[in-house]
Amino acid sequence: MTRGRKAVYYICDHKDWGHVSFLVWDILQEEGYLHPAGFTFAGKEVMKYADEKNNEYYFAPSDIAICRDYPRFLPDMNKYFGNFDMSGMVTWHEGTNAPERVLTIHTIGDVSSGCYGPANPLYNHNLMISMEKIRKDIGLEDFKVVTEATHWSGVHDGTGDPELILKYNVPMVDIEVGSEEDSWCNKQACSILARSLLHVFDHDIKLHNLLCVGGIHFDPNFAESVHTSWNDGKEYFGISHIMANQWLVSGEYENEQGEEKLSACIESIIGGIDGIVFHDKLKGCYKDLVRKLGEKYNVPIIKHQALRMPENISWK
């Protein structure tokens, strides 16, 4: 029997707090994917589903999003799921000027401190490609599947320890619907998210992994690159960590520790990188840093416009 892979999804099933996530939990239950796994996570019963390829998907409910009380949840995360292949937290997205009607994922990292969780571009790709396919299949035309810049919600209200990110060695993403109440309550959107969770291991292909630097929090150039293919659909970009310009500035990446922080980000990407793409409006000091890292890791430096013509990129 082929050894399957394992993923765990942390899902707040509390209706008064878990916008999006409690709907996702209910949809998974309605569609027959939740079966008792035989143990509890933070006092709640974990559910499990196995597919025909022996892949296993675990669903760990909680009374609040795990990032809001990471010290409490982390011991059980490592105890029960520390050797898994992939993990995700299902939640909602909101924010000033945030786009409406989006399905999005982002990797975990605290850019200011330079603490980055492991990132798996292939599994991120599988999730987003699956979301897009399901979205088209059900005809939800007014929603988009987009990328979001790397961040971590475990630092809030002036408190939180980013180094806790480094104590969980399973690749993790936040998987969200945003960014306003009408979108959070859209059952079709939540259904797309729920079903995509079971497709994280669908494809095992070689991607051109990129570190994305600059741009805005929901940068359309990086979002579109997820859906870009060439060479008759045989080649894709692998998108994981995205370093939005605002975080580079707040993290003072122009200073001497900038290279160390950005190197830590690169080294957290499973499979390494094949290139660094930067937004052309990036400040000169950050462009210099990107070029320095391109030499260090012997990878091409790519302007964001080149993502539209991937067949012309010279990979090393």
**Is the C-alpha dihedral spanning 151, 22, 128, 178 positive or negative?**
negative
Q: In this structure, is residue 262 part of a structural domain? A: yes
Does 178 map to a domain? no
Examine residue 184 and state whether it is found in any structural domain, yes or no: no
Q: What one-character DSSP code corresponds to residue 303? A: E
CATH of the domain at 242: 3.40.50.10700
Q: Evaluate whether residue 297 is within a structural domain.
A: yes
What is the mean predicted confidence (pLDDT) over 76-102? 96
Contacts of 204 (CB under 8 A, 6+ apart): 122
**Which tens digit of pLDDT belongs to each residue from 206-220?**
999 999 999 999 999
Q: Is residue 79 part of a domain?
A: no
Judged against a pLDDT cut of 60, whether residue 204 lies above it is answered with yes
SS3 content of the chain, % helix, strand, coil (to 5): 35, 30, 35
Q: What is the pLDDT of residues 213-254, one digit of tens each?
A: 999 999 999 999 999 999 999 999 999 999 999 999 999 999
Q: Do the domain assignments include residue 245?
A: yes
Q: Could you report the per-residue pLDDT of 22-55, keeping only the tens digit for each?
A: 999 999 999 999 999 999 999 999 999 999 999 9
Distance CA 275, CA 218 (A): 20
Distance CA 244, CA 246 (A): 6
**Strand pairing report for 56-62 and 44-50:** antiparallel
CB atoms within 10 A of CB 98: 15
State residue 241's pLDDT score.
Answer: 99
* Structure confidence by residue, pLDDT tens digits, 125-170: 999 999 999 999 999 999 999 999 999 999 887 789 999 999 999 9
pLDDT of residue 115: 98
Residue 1 confidence (pLDDT): 56
| Domains: count for the chain | 1
Domain range for 254 is 205-316
Q: What is the pLDDT of residues 90-121, one digit of tens each?
A: 999 998 889 999 999 999 999 999 999 999 99
The rounded percent of the chain whose pLDDT value lies above 70 is 99
For residue 16, the model assigns a pLDDT of 84
Answer yes or no: is 218 within a domain.
Answer: yes
Burial 21-55 (b: 16+ CB within 10 A, else e): bbbbbbbbeeeebbeebeeebbeeebbbbeeeeeb
Say yes or no to pLDDT of 2 above 80.
Answer: no
Mean pLDDT of the chain: 96
pLDDT of residue 158: 76
Residue 289 belongs to some domain of the structure: yes
